Amino acid sequence: MKNSLLVILLLILSLAGRAQSIDKVVAFHVKAIPFSEFCESLFKQSSVKIYYDEKLLKDLKVSVDSDSISIVMAVKEALKGTKLEVSYWHGSLVVMPGEKLLTALPDYNLKKNKNKDEGASSESLTKSEELYITGRKADVSKSMTIGMKGAAVPGTKAKIRGRILDEETGEPIFNATMYIAEIQNGAISDINGFVTISLSPGKYNASFEYLGYEKEKYQLEVLSDGNFTLNMHNAVIQMKVVVVYGDRQMNMRAKDPGLDKLSVKAIKELPMMMGERDILKVSGTLPGIVSVGEGSSGLNVRGGSSDQNAFYINKIPIYNTSHLFGFFPAFNADIIKDFSIYKGHIPAQYGGHLSSVFNIVSRQGNRKHFTARGGISPITGSIVVEGPLKKDTSSFLFSARSSYSDWILKKIKDPQISNSTAGFNDISGGINYDNQKTQLSLFLYHSFDRFSLNELTSYQYSNNGASASFGHNFGSALRGEFSLIASQYAFSTIDKQEPATAYDHPFKMEHYEARADFKHKIFRTNSLEYGASLILYKLDRGTVSPYGVESLRKTVELGKEQGIESAVYLSDVYDVLPWLNLTAGIRYALFTPIGPQTVYEYQAGLPVSTRNITDTLTFGANEPIKRYNEPDIRAAVNIKTDPNGSIKLAFNQMHQNLFMLNTTAAIAPNTQWKLADYHLLPSESNQYSAGIFRALAEYGLETSAEIFYKQTHNFPEFKDGADFLNTKLVETTVLQGDQKAWGIEFFIKRSMRKVEGWISYTYSRSFIQVNGGEEWNQTNNGEAYPSNFDIPHSLNVVINYHINRRVTLASIVTYQTGKPVTYPVSVYYVNGLPVFDYSKRNAYRIPDYFRTDFSLTVEGNLKKKKLIHSSLIFSLYNATGRENPYSVYFKTEDGGIKSYQYSVIGVPIFTATWLFKLGNYASE
Amino acid sequence: MRQNSIHIIITMLALLLTSCIKTYEPLIQNKDAEKFVVSGQVNQGDTVQRISISKTSQIADPVSSPVSGCVVNITDDKGNTYPATEEKNGNYESIIPASELKEGASFRVDIRLPSGENIVSDYDQINACPDVDSVYYVLQDVPGINPEIPGKGIQFYLNMEGANYTCRNYRIEAVETWEYHSAYPIEWFYNGYIHHVVPLDFSRMVCWRTALTKDIFTLSTTNLSENKYVSFPLNLVDNYSSPRLQYGYSLLIRQYALSDAAYSYWEKMRINTNQQGGLYEAQPQPVKGNMHNITNPDKDVLGFFGASSVKLKRIFVSPIVNLPIDYNPHCEVGILLKNGLRQISPASYPAYLFGDNNGYQNVVIRSECVDCLILGGTTLKPGFWPN
């Protein structure tokens, strides 16, 4: 700092004793005046002194033209183009070449300081100490007062509840962060925009951040318990940014290892098959998640089967998440507000599926004005209409999406195809009421699919759901939410391929749920989440009955079944130390299959088959058939190693009572679900995970590495050739074994840059072992084998290149190890026909999967005031035209042996999609 | 053909999305030892009972490798033993008196391999088999070589009526016989010397060939309300890939009544040999038959030894008026000999040449265009063939 001694301090005007405010906003219109004149002018307006070396600035001509500019900004503007920096020093500004004056001590000192003073009121800090902590005050331009003078109880902390809303639409913002510099901690807003924090009375500098919104800085004056509301504006100037923001604030409060988030904006810009924005398919580019393949809706999360994932939209469970056999998503991307995936630590409020929770929360609708948006792709058209019912308190949202007529099918000359029809639609709508204290919401969802092949086989399936929620803030520390949820999944199949065996089969599953969830801030360092839920499952597996007069099909009643899942949970998020956070939760569920039901007992030690029935048990209506106690422990530790890094550890226990009757990797449209029952035991899993998270701020990077080990017991593995249409006794077709999965996941994400995106790499393995002792009780001779979804290497690269504000080029590159497969290893002849002898189960692999997609998004003009904004998205799927095999299979043909690979998509597919919305580029 | 309907849909969507199926040969290295394979059955209705014993061969090099020199005995549940003698390489035959081949009788096979190992099967019981009610065909469009131009073909169906029988599981073999003609009579041929056949030799222009269709057909009425099946689809014969329908075609149906164990074996075999690779297809599984190596129980033995009764039915299909044959044996072209007859390798003697009364040309006709025996048929008209 010896240079500073050389600085000639020039006192421009007398030392006036008035309060100085460098953040004062002034109007300034000067052109090409000398710097000294500029300083004088500034002092007149703000009484801020500026110290500088005359030699350095004697030639500088200053031009500033602004109606409202802070003093600091004005000086910075004036110094633009020079290598001089302006620093704040004891209420004055100092101009020096090249380097800034240090105004705060390095962080480590600060930390020590803070720990010592933990809990002390910030009032006890001197003005200068406060400055050390908050840095330049220049940024703080607004202030808020919370609570009332004199209302504070001495020695206790004030409980503060804030509400963060979108200024334009009035909708709450989920996952916005509130950061209090003084305590180096903060809170994240919940789905209703609420943030809860305990602070000692005093003054604080709070900053509020959310993607795509302008950062807000406030000075909070905390007097006592109280509430505040904060409106955030869309950052019009910013680029559309950031795609995945899981663990975004890793130096802050996101405690859940294995939590990933996808933002809908990002998905819009990514290349998609046939132009349909599929949030679930994009989730397959995240570490630990693998998509089963094109034309299939299954996702495998951390080596689990696809029925181990729970999907919710506004609390409604959705049991079939795709249209047209998995080619397209069953959700309109335009209504999605938040999409979170839990795959490691799953909060205690969730239960019932072993691998993951995919939680979609819809937007609530614009509370300020009516608006609409929509899109047209080669396959579907969609529209979303929303607006206030009563300004600022209630709103509605309605979305409809439908495929067009069968024009594509009709274009195909093959008569089998042109005689076929296909179509789908989904409709959803919601109404929300919000008076800050109480929120009411109602949401309805419907999706429908039909498919008929050459008038021989037809499928229909639909999801229907409704949820009603009542949320209320009891004081500033306790919030309760009460919900009623109903969901139904139904399909029907008509198979007329052979008149003699033609049949129809309807299936219906209903889910009724009542739940209460509470969030309770009991102390500054402790937040409790507790609640209870009650679910009634009603399955009607349907009756397979003959179709048509010629059919001889035997009528098979697959039966009805019911089960009650009741659960209570309690979870505490405890900030033990500023750098140590614990989440400990317990969920206790009781699953009870209930009658009426007839159950058979089988001879012990013999195969479970109708031949070995020893006894028949009859259960009356609502009589419990069995009781399964299912305690789950969910624990997570979050250790902040430094402001940019953390280590997270988690232990997660789950139970699952509902299974898909499926012997293949893909989910078919006629896949039945089945409850755990007298014989079929609930599955349970224990997952251990650990992760290191680190932000490299200077490069805009966030990185993480996570390892996991997951063990599942009573994993249902269906026997070879299991037929779920000809017997209601599922226990005769299933064996239960163990599943093991482990892996390591790496993730690097770059955001808020011109070139952004992420790279994920996962190495993981997944094995199944079914060994009940006797030969009939084994699969693969009782040896462990790779599961159908054992994909060791999975690499995804997602890049968004914002060429300018209107044009974005995006690309997805995906590589996966080929799926395991059972190949024939030798040949023998029976009656002169070649027959295969197959290898051990899944001993081989099909060729690796590799795909590159591109998309180009062109936004309409950037005028701020316009009626309609539209964007065009050009997508090129599978740009290299690689024929990625879905399967490899062997056939005997004309006495010889042929092997084939089957690829769902073997050429590049180009599509153009048009999206529009009322309002400008940035409006939501 | 019975197909998984979802598979068809996916294929269809796939077509829509320009998916593709192409040949692919994975590298398979089988380190397992060869396994023994026993297949055979005792049939009520047959006079000679046949058993074949072989070993598996590598998938990359599929060959039939029979096992000779085994001691083979068939035993029944009454304690009778019927020795089988080796007729041909690895094929063993036994004669069991018809009086012992009754419904309800059970049989098994006991084999001592040349190595001294002992293989036995489980017992399998004879079930009575109903008559084949009827076999018929339906003319229909079939996928052609060019997907946009459908071909034509006939689909065979079987009706089964078993009201008075307890057996509900069946296996059907379809044995086809067809007449075919070569394009030319024999006139000029070269086997080191040039020969001119006068008068023309028409003896190898008409042949009949018999073959088992390469499909496994299993039929079960377990899931039907009656022991009856209407329109069970058998094989499909098209008009472009072979000359089968050109001059006459006959189909012999062998309908076997199976035990549950035998049905389960053949059903798995059917599924495994008829993979389509679709999205919703379960992975193939090793098929365990009913054979056991009792000397080395850890060594798997493949195959099934069954006991059943069989009923036969034959139908004849004359050339069909509105089914034009689109098959081209490509006999109008031959191989041009630029350097004269000496270019012909002795290995391919006799070489038939284009020519007429006045002389031959240096163009070789493919043998099957003049000699129908080359394609595996016989010039002996079968007894059942109509005149």
CATH of the domain at A350: 2.40.170.20
A903/B20 CB distance under 8 A: yes
Whether the per-residue pLDDT at A599 is higher than 70: the answer is yes
Average pLDDT estimate for B380-385: 92
Closest CA to B55 of B43, B44, B66: B66
Cβ distance B39 to A831 less than 8 Å, yes or no, reads yes
| Residue A70, pLDDT above cutoff 90 | no
DSSP A553: B
pLDDT of residue A565: 96
Q: Specify the pLDDT at position A525.
A: 81
In this structure, the answer to whether residues A309 and A207 fall within a common structural domain is no
- Residue A887: closest CA among chain B residues belongs to which residue? B277
The answer to whether the CB atoms of A457 and B16 lie below 8 A apart is no
Residue B59 contacts A where some CB pair is shorter than 8 Å: yes
Q: Say whether both A347 and A316 belong to one domain.
A: yes
A260 vs A188, which has greater pLDDT? Answer: A188
Q: Are residues A861 and A912 in the same domain?
A: yes
CATH number at residue A118: 2.60.40.1120
Q: Is residue A715 part of a domain?
A: yes
Query: Hey, how many other C-beta atoms are within 10 angstroms of the C-beta on A778?
Result: 16
Q: Is the pLDDT of residue A244 over 60?
A: no
Contact A552/B276, CB-based, under 8 Å?
no
Q: What is the mean pLDDT of residues A440-465?
A: 90
pLDDT of residue A797 exceeding 90, the answer is yes
Contact B314, B234 (CB under 8 A): no
Give yes or no: residues A568 and A466 share one domain: yes
Domain that holds residue A210: 107-232
Write the ipTM. Answer: 0.84
Let me know whether A144 and A286 are in one domain: no
pLDDT at A107 exceeding the cut of 50: no
Contact A721 B303 (CB under 8 A): no
Structural contact between residues A917 and A268, judged by C-beta atoms closer than 8 angstroms: no
Q: Phi/psi zone of residue A537: left (φ > 0), alpha (ψ -120 to 50 degrees), beta?
A: beta
pLDDT tens profile A663-700: 876 777 888 999 999 999 999 999 999 999 888 877 87
A165–chain B nearest CA distance, Å: 44
Whether residues A215 and A269 fall in one domain:
no
Interface-testing mutation among B34, B169, B283, B287, with chain A (most A C-beta atoms within 10 A): B283
Question: What integer is the mean pLDDT of A429-442?
Answer: 92
The answer on pLDDT for A118 being more than 50 is no
Are the Cβ atoms of A825 and B30 closer than 8 angstroms? yes
A668: nearest CB among B8, B22, B280: B280
Same domain flag for A81 and A118: no
**What is the per-residue pLDDT for A238?**
33
pLDDT in tens, B321-330: 888 888 888 8
CB contact under 8 A, A834 and B6: no
- A251 inside domain: no
SS3 A124: helix
Q: Are residues A500 and A597 in the same domain?
A: yes
Percent of chain B with pLDDT over 70: 92
> Residue A129: is its pLDDT beyond 70?
no
Domain assignment present for A8: yes
**B160: nearest CA partner in chain A:** A500
Nearest CA in chain A to B287: A837
Task: Give the minimum alpha-carbon distance from A505 to chain B in angstroms, rounded to a whole number.
Answer: 14
Whether A253 is in a domain gets the answer no
Q: B197 and chain A: CB distance < 8 Å anywhere?
A: no
In this structure, the answer to whether residues A615 and A566 fall within a common structural domain is: yes
The tokens of A468 are what? 């009603």
The answer to whether residue B89 neighbours chain A at the CB level (below 8 Å) is: no
In a shared domain, residues A595 and A672 = yes
Query: Is residue A125 very low, low, confident or very high in pLDDT (cuts 50, 70, 90)?
Result: very low
Task: Tell whether the model's pLDDT for residue A207 goes beyond 80.
Answer: yes
Contacts of A844 in chain B (CB under 8 A): 26, 28
More confident residue, A32 or A611: A611
Would you call B26 and A664 a contact, using CB atoms and an 8 Å cutoff?
Answer: no
Are residues B334 and B263 in contact, defined by beta-carbon separation less than 8 angstroms? Answer: no
Q: Is A634 in contact with A587 (CB distance < 8 Å)?
A: yes
Averaged pLDDT, A93-102:
69
Question: Which helix (H) or strand (E) element contains residue A438?
Answer: strand A438-453
Residues A720 and A801 in one domain: yes
Prediction pTM value: 0.79
**A700 is a domain residue:** yes
Give the total number of structural domains in chain A: 3
- Mean pLDDT, rounded, for A144-172: 80
- A598 pLDDT exceeds 90? yes
Mean pLDDT of B310-330: 90
B57 interface with A at CB cutoff 8 Å? yes
Which two structure tokens, joined as six digits, stand for A318?
A: 């959705």
Question: What residues of B are in contact with residue A293 (Cβ under 8 Å)?
Answer: 279
Give the DSSP H/E element, type plus range, for residue A110. Answer: helix A107-116
pLDDT bucket at A518, cuts 50 / 70 / 90: very high
What integer is the mean pLDDT of A537-560? 92
Contact between chains at B223 and A293 (C-beta distance less than 8 A): no
Q: Which of A494, A829, A898 to mutate to test the interface with B (most CBs of B within 10 A)?
A: A829
Residue B209 has pLDDT above 50, yes or no: yes
Q: Which of A369-383, A800-814, A883-897 has the lowest mean pLDDT?
A: A883-897
Paired residues of A647 in beta bridges: A639, A692
Residues A340 and A222 reside in one and the same domain: no
Token pair 């109007």 in the structure block, residue: A27
Residue of A nearest to B301 (CA): A837
In A, minimum Cα distance to B146 occurs at A414
Element at A418 (helix H, strand E): helix A415-418
Single residue among A187, A213, A232 that ends a domain in this structure: A232
CA trace torsion A362, A364, A368, A374 (10° rounding): 40
Between residues B347 and B110, which one has the greater pLDDT?
B110
Note whether residue A250 is domain-resident. Answer: no
Beta-carbon separation of A552 and B230 below 8 A: yes
Annotate A622-688 with DSSP letters as a single string: T-BS--EEEEEEEEEEEEEEETTEEEEEEEEEEEE-EEEE-SSSSPPTT-EEEE--SSSPPEEEEEE
pLDDT band at B76 (very low <50, low <70, confident <90, very high): very high
**pLDDT, averaged across chain B:** 87
* Structural domain includes residue A450: yes
Last residue of one domain, picked from the residues A67, A97, A127:
A97
Q: Are A539 and A661 in contact (CB under 8 A)?
A: no
Q: Which of the two residues, B250 and A73, has the higher pLDDT score?
A: B250
B342 interface with A at CB cutoff 8 Å = no
User: Nearest to residue A785, comparing CAs of A717, A871, A880?
Assistant: A717
For residue B158, is pLDDT > 60? yes
| pLDDT tens-place string over residues B247-306 | 999 999 999 999 999 999 999 888 887 777 666 677 787 788 899 999 999 888 999 999
Most confident of A243-252, A532-541, B331-340: A532-541
Min distance A683 CA to chain B CA atoms (Å): 22
Question: Across the interface, which of A415, A826, A887 has its CB nearest the CB of B57?
Answer: A826
Confidence of residue A408 (pLDDT cuts 50, 70, 90): low
Say whether pLDDT at A836 is over 60: yes
Task: Count CB neighbours of B325 within 10 A.
Answer: 17
Asked whether residue A640 carries a pLDDT value surpassing 60, the answer given is yes
With an 8 Å Cβ cutoff, are B57 and A885 in contact? no
Q: How many CB atoms lie within 10 A of CB B237?
A: 22
Q: What is the mean pLDDT of residues A423-427?
A: 93
Residue A331 lies in a domain: yes
What count of CB pairs under 8 Å joins A to B? 256
DSSP string computed for B307-363: EEEEEEEEEEEPPPTT---------S--EE-TT-GGGS-GGGPSEEEEEETTEEEEE
A668 to chain B: closest CA residue: B280
pLDDT tens digits, A470-508: 999 998 889 999 999 999 999 999 998 888 889 999 999
- CATH number, domain of A78, equals 3.55.50.30
* A239 band by pLDDT with thresholds 50, 70 and 90: very low
CB atoms within 10 A of CB B298: 5
Residue A136, pLDDT > 60, answer no
The more confidently predicted of residues A648 and A418 is A648
Say if strands A560-577 and A580-594 run parallel, antiparallel, or are unpaired.
antiparallel
How much is the pLDDT for A53? 78
Does position A456 have pLDDT exceeding 90, yes or no? no
